[in-house]
Amino acid sequence: MNAPKIFCVVVAYRPRPEVLRAALDSMVAQATQVIVVDNTEGSGRPPDVAPARYLPLGQNVGIAAAQNRGIALALAEGADYVWLSDQDTVYPPDFVPRMLATAASCVEQGIRFAALAPAFYDTLAGKVRPFIRHAPFIQAFAPAPGLNVVADAIASGTLIPAAALRTVGLMQEDLFIDWVDTEWCWRARKVHGLEVIAVGDVVIRHALGDGLVAFAGRRITIRSPLRHYYIVRNALYLALHSNAATLPVRLQIGWRALLWTAAYPVIAPEHKWDHLAACCRGLLDGLTRRMGQRA
Rounded CA-CA distance 102/96 in Å is 10
Pairing status of strand 53-56 against strand 33-38 = parallel
Q: C-alpha 145: how far from its chain's center?
A: 22
Q: Where are the beta strands (DSSP E) in the chain?
A: 6-12, 33-38, 53-56, 81-86, 113-122, 127-128, 131-134, 138-141, 147-150, 159-161, 195-206, 211-215, 218-222
The superfamily (CATH) of domain 6-206 is Spore Coat Polysaccharide Biosynthesis Protein SpsA; Chain A (3.90.550.10)
pLDDT per residue as tens, the chain (295 positions): 688 999 999 999 999 999 999 999 999 999 999 999 999 998 677 888 999 999 999 999 999 999 999 999 999 999 999 999 999 999 999 999 999 999 999 999 999 999 999 999 988 888 899 999 999 999 999 999 999 999 999 999 999 999 999 999 999 999 999 999 999 999 999 999 999 999 999 999 888 777 777 776 777 788 999 999 999 999 999 999 998 999 999 999 999 999 999 999 999 989 999 999 999 999 999 999 999 999 7
pLDDT in the model for residue 29: 94
pLDDT in the model for residue 43: 67
Element (H, E) at 166: helix 162-168
Tell which residue, 144, 174, 169, has the closest CA to residue 234: 174
Which residues make up the CATH 3.90.550.10 domain(s) of the chain? 6-206
Tell which residue, 24, 7, 11, has the closest CA to residue 64: 11
